[in-house]
Structure 1
Amino acid sequence: MSTIWVVLIAIAALVAGVALGFFIARKYMMNYLKKNPPINEQMLRTLMMQMGQKPSQKKINQMMRAMNNQNQSGK
């Protein structure tokens, strides 16, 4: 009878640890990506120049706004 309790407690602790670890890692990554966005205006300008386009500030602002809107709707 006591081995069943030990096994049940071990399984419950494992499930709780996995769930807690998942949420902590998720929160950490959300904060990291908010502080260090994956792409910025300089990267976008370089990318457009590599594709052979002459990027105007208006076009860069438009693309950054579109990416930010997409990130906001994805949440």
Structure 2
Amino acid sequence: MWINILIGVLSLIAGAAIGFFIARKTMMNYLKKNPPINEKMLRVMMMQMGMNPSQKKINQMMKAMNSQMK
């Protein structure tokens, strides 16, 4: 009787752990293929804030965002 409960609890824990890692891997792949922001969106945001962004500034901000994603 105790063995059945123990097997059930261990299976539940193992399933939750495996599900977490599969979901994490899937989400990381999705974000890598479809980044939440790109250069065009960044340029529009900066212009809406009243800034006149140079290509150098946009490249710096994209590099900073990409390094945070890793």
Identical counterparts, % of pairs = 69
Q: TM-score, normalised by structure 1?
A: 0.85
- The aligned amino acid for 2:68 is Q
Rg larger in structure: 1
Indicate the residue corresponding to 1:55 in structure 2. 53
RMSD: 1.1
Cross-structure match for 2:11: 13
Residue equivalent to 2:64: 66
Runs of 4+ with deviation above 3 angstroms: none
Q: How many residues align?
A: 70
User: What stretches of structure 2 of length at least 5 have no aligned partner?
Assistant: none
With the length of structure 2 as denominator, give the TM-score of the two structures: 0.90
Looking at structure 2, the residues matched to 71 and 18 of structure 1 have their Cα atoms a distance apart, in angstroms, of 25
Instruction: Give structure 1 stretches of 5+ with no counterpart.
Output: none
